Amino acid sequence: MPDIKKKFAALFISAFASMLGMGIIVPLMPIYAKTLGASGLWLGLIFSGFSLSRLIFMPLMGKMSDKKGRKKFICSGLFLYSLLSLGYIFANSIFSLVWIRILHGFASAMTVPIIMAYVGDIAPKGKEGRFMGYFNVSFFMGMGIGPFVGGILNDSFGMASAFIAVSILAAAALIFTLLFLSEETPAMIKKSEAQKNPSFKRLLKNNLIKGLLIYRFIGAVGRGPLMAFLPIFASDFGITASQIGIIISSHMILMSILQIPFGRLADKYSKIKLIIFSGLIMTFVLGAIPFADNFRDLFLLNILMGVAGGMGMPAATAINAIAGKKYGMASSMSLFSSAMSAGMVISPLIAGILMDTAGIKYIFYFGSSVTFIGVLIFYGFVKKYKKQIEKEKIQERLASE
């Protein structure tokens, strides 16, 4: 157990440093792109490029990691992440900015799902929700503090200082990984036959996983534009970069704090109900954003969004960790992350077109509607999953007789 705690601490610190860097960049990216003359559609392409790259490479990296080990992929990704963060400083056109985002997405594909897979490997059976909940704190706390830090750096020292800070943070995460992580984990040493030959096809036969992936994809389509377009929406009524950082940070920090209690709940109670309630709250918040016209309203809505994220994420990642122990941990986690990336490819493009044609408020109306549809689809697959389990139990009973 002490060895597990040491590895968990190293993974937590590395993930926190990486996500803090990402949190610094994301809210500043639309502002930076605007200085280069980006339209709504180009803003969509900038964010889609990152997600498209992740979508293409994450399943491949996940499957390779299940076979060849975790550490080498994490270290390579962090090294590239640190190097590419400096590339933003030298981007002198929208086209070059899109290419840097694509390459950054490739680096991210080698880190985020593989780090999550490592945590899933060391999580004890029956405590997946608790372990993933504790670990998710690193992701959301980093993303939560990042926008605030990025806003202050931008206002005080200029945009370049933010990109330099991101590079340093990724380098620090790389050092932690090199020093404190081993290549093998207990789950990788003692593999089942299915884990030795990870198969996306076997994983996707599970209706609960299938429904969760579709829900994750649709949720990303609905919520994807939030980080990219909320700063522009907020700036229309005089909110500063630092205030935007506080608004975005508020829901991320609360979400990170709530990962722990909701992670424990996910181990004891229905993970499915937690996911559904989370989606319904998110539906309401997205639909209410267009009616906000001051700092206080946006702040309160983002607090509520933090509650929704804190409720649903530990349950979703716990379901994936349980499936990963059967079908291949990195394969399961990479599919989960890829579903989000697929939605993030589409959503900024749709949002950019809506902004250019109908107005920025319609981005949030669209997001609310799509999120609600995702909840309904997920519930439909849950019903199929329950029937699937009942059928398997009947077949097992008949076979034993």
Closest CA to 122 of 270, 13, 11: 11
Q: How many CB atoms lie within 10 A of CB 183?
A: 10
pLDDT of residue 396: 63
pLDDT of residue 392: 65
Q: How many CB atoms lie within 10 A of CB 158?
A: 10
Sketch out the chain's domains with CATH numbers: 2-400 (1.20.1250.20)
Cβ proximity of 215 and 374 under 8 Å? yes
DSSP symbols for 365-397: HHHHHHHHHHHHHHHHHHHHHHHHHHHHHHHHH
pLDDT of residue 158: 81
Residue for token pair 């790389």: 174
Cβ proximity of 281 and 311 under 8 Å? yes
pLDDT lower than 70: segments of the chain: 1-2, 27, 183-200, 225, 227-228, 241, 245, 392-401
- CA 233 to each of CA 26, 48, 350: distance values in angstroms, whole numbers, following the listed order: 15, 19, 16
Residue 93 CB burial class (10 angstroms; 0-12, 13-18, ≥19): exposed
pLDDT digits (tens, 9 = 90+) for 173-188: 888 888 887 765 545 4
pLDDT of residue 65: 81
Angstrom distance (rounded) from CA 168 to CA 82: 7
**Both tokens of residue 242?**
């630092």
Cβ proximity of 36 and 97 under 8 Å? yes
**336 DSSP 8-state letter:** H
pLDDT of residue 193: 45
